């Protein structure tokens, strides 16, 4: 029973591919022609070249598949062209789910994000029932993922395709080759290049636990239901302290007030527009940091048997991988 995985060359997608292969399932990967394929080198994966914005390639990719893990997404905090992100994340997801339904796919797991869930203002963990709307979403990425989640569920209801949604929090660990924004923070902190921080918090989870959660959602998840795949809630100060100590460095001690951080982000984006290089800090990132992004995975633990490891182990694996030149 062939399983299609989109985004299999990426950080989370590669972990999902390994998890599905461990179950003895044949895996097909939808891969853009210019993607870095090092994350799937040596894996028994059939590659089909295509793109979420190319409907014909999606029809070819899903042909003969019984299940789909739609992990691929345009994930950037700084996005000078929001229309391109919407085309990939929203319309691409719509097209893939329609193609899957038409091809007779039985079950699909859609990788959303906790970005679609509004954090609680008081710092208590939010969950799948926390009220959220597109108006609460800060930045193009969050808006695109919120809308994509709605589109996927609407197509599922319209076509009868069995869809389960998973909402990973902040995955860290090995094979973050791009790296993700969080991976870049860990890499730079381990290298001693993060002298200051803002007061915020994240939910840290090992990427392999997120992959396990995907498989459990495919196997046991209720159709149309969302499952947060998180780990441990940690302040940014604690995250940076853990990373720097693992790397044998001193943790940063300078806490930036939000207005100063916003000023730095404003200047960083101005420079980025001139140079074309990604900014060191973004205004959307500073806006997000005003809320501690803490979440609860209780539903996934209770209904799926999801059991993430301690965040320290996830951060240790990330530091070890980056230290080896990842």
Q: Which two tokens stand for residue 99?
A: 């193609």
When the pLDDT of each residue in the chain is averaged and rounded to a whole number, the result is 94
pLDDT at residue 303 greater than cutoff 80? yes
Banded pLDDT at 271 (limits 50, 70, 90):
confident
- Taking only the tens place, the pLDDT of each residue in 111-159 is 999 999 999 999 999 999 999 999 988 889 999 999 999 999 999 999 9
Instruction: State the greatest distance between any 2 C-alpha atoms of the chain, in Å, as a whole number.
Output: 56
295 neighbors 160 (Cβ within 8 angstroms): no
For residues 53-59, give the mean pLDDT.
96
Burial class (CB in 10 A: 0-12, 13-18, 19+), 172: buried
Banded pLDDT at 182 (limits 50, 70, 90):
very high
For residues 252-270, give the mean pLDDT.
82
Banded pLDDT at 326 (limits 50, 70, 90):
low
For residues 212-222, give the mean pLDDT.
98
Q: Are β-strands 201-206 and 232-235 bridged in parallel, bridged antiparallel, or unpaired?
A: antiparallel
Q: Which of 254, 300, 287, 262 is nearest to 125 (CA)?
A: 300
CA 22, distance to chain mean position in Å, is 21
Q: Which two tokens stand for residue 85?
A: 């992100």
Helices (H), 247-310: 258-275, 283-288, 298-304
Predicted local confidence at residue 132, as pLDDT: 92
Q: How many CB atoms lie under 10 A from the CB of residue 258?
A: 14
What does the alpha-carbon distance between residue 199 and residue 235 come to, in Å, rounded to a whole number?
Answer: 7
């Amino acid at each position: 029973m062939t399983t299609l995985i989109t985004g299999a060359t990426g950080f989370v997608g590669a972990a999902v591919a390994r998890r599905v292969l461990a179950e003895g399932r044949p895996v097909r990967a939808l891969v853009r022609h210019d993607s870095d394929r090092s994350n799937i080198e040596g894996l028994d994966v059939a590659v089909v070249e295509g793109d979420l914005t190319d409907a014909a390639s999606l029809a070819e990719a899903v042909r003969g598949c019984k299940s789909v893990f739609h992990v691929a997404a345009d994930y950037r905090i700084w996005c000078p062209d929001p229309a391109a992100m919407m085309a990939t994340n929203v319309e691409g997801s719509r097209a893939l789910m329609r193609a899957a339904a038409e091809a007779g796919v039985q079950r699909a797991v859609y990788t959303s994000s906790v970005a679609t869930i509004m954090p609680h203002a008081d710092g208590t963990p939010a969950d799948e029932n926390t009220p959220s709307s597109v108006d609460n979403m800060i930045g193009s990425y969050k808006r695109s993922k919120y809308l994509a989640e709605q589109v996927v569920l609407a197509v599922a209801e319209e076509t009868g395709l069995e869809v389960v949604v998973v909402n990973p929090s902040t995955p860290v660990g090995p094979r973050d080759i791009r790296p993700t924004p969080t991976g870049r923070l860990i890499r730079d902190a381990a290298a001693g290049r993060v002298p200051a921080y803002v007061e915020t918090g994240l939910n840290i989870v090992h990427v392999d636990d997120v992959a396990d959660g995907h498989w459990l959602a495919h196997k046991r998840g209720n159709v149309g239901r969302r499952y947060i795949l998180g780990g441990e809630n940690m302040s940014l100060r604690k995250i940076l302290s853990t990373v720097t100590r693992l790397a044998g460095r001193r943790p940063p001690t300078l806490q930036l007030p939000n207005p100063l951080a916003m000023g730095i982000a404003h200047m960083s984006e101005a420079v980025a527009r001139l140079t074309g290089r990604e900014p060191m800090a973004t205004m959307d990132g500073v806006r997000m940091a005003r809320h501690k992004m803490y979440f609860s995975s209780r539903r996934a633990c209770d209904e799926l048997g999801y059991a993430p490891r301690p965040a320290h182990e996830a951060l240790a694996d990330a530091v070890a991988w980056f230290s080896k030149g990842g």
